[in-house]
Amino acid sequence: NRTVRQRPKLYKSHLLYAAPLMRSGNYRQALRVLKQAGKLPDHSPWVDYNIAAGNLWLGQTAEALIAAGRAAARGLVPKAWLLQGNCLERMGRPSLAGHYYRLASRNPETASIALNNLGNIEVKLKRLERAAEMYRRASNADPLFMEPRISLGGVLVMLGRHAEAVDALEEVILQAE
């Protein structure tokens, strides 16, 4: 009896090759490799996700948004929603970015980052009370994620609520020790 050998998923070698290129900042070369992988018939949505990330790093926001959309359509959600939100935010579309962040906030894996990003949008729109609420929710979703606590402290200072700001920032300092 002979065993049937499955054809290897070639896109995996492309992803493995592109990963250190991305980490070392060689985004253009990584994108060339990833685009080759994207032409393979059985490629993973992670290929599209990484194409989106590389394009975003290179400032090619429209291309990044398209690739993130492909990753989302192929099932890589909610991470692709975060990336779509980032693209739209950079394109000056905070309301639409907020839509994707709200979708991503429903998933425990991405909730803290999505809620933090929603808080950042609220700050830009000068809705500080709503920003504070998003930062609190982000902190609750992941108590080890310090960025929303720091941002909350800043927003509370802007709101003139200094005692609350001290409490929020004191937690950050205590956790850093």
The model's pLDDT over 133-164, given as tens digits with 9 standing for 90+, comes to: 999 999 999 999 999 999 999 999 999 999 99
The single residue listed with the structure tokens 């070639």 is 10
The whole-number average pLDDT for the span 101-126 is 97
Question: Measuring CA to CA, how many Å separate 129 from each of 63, 155, 167?
Answer: 34, 8, 17
Mean pLDDT of the residues in the chain: 93
CB atoms within 10 A of CB 44: 20
Contact (Cβ atoms closer than 8 angstroms) between residue 121 and residue 91: no
CB atoms within 10 A of CB 141: 20
pLDDT value, residue 91: 97
User: What is the distance, to the nearest Å, from the Cα of residue 47 to the centroid of all Cα atoms in its chain?
Assistant: 16
User: pTM of the predicted model, to two decimals?
Assistant: 0.87
> For residues 56 and 133, what is the distance between their CA atoms, to the nearest angstrom?
28
pLDDT value, residue 41: 84
pLDDT value, residue 59: 96
pLDDT value, residue 10: 83
16-67 per-position pLDDT tens digit: 999 999 999 999 999 999 999 999 888 899 999 999 999 999 999 999 999 9
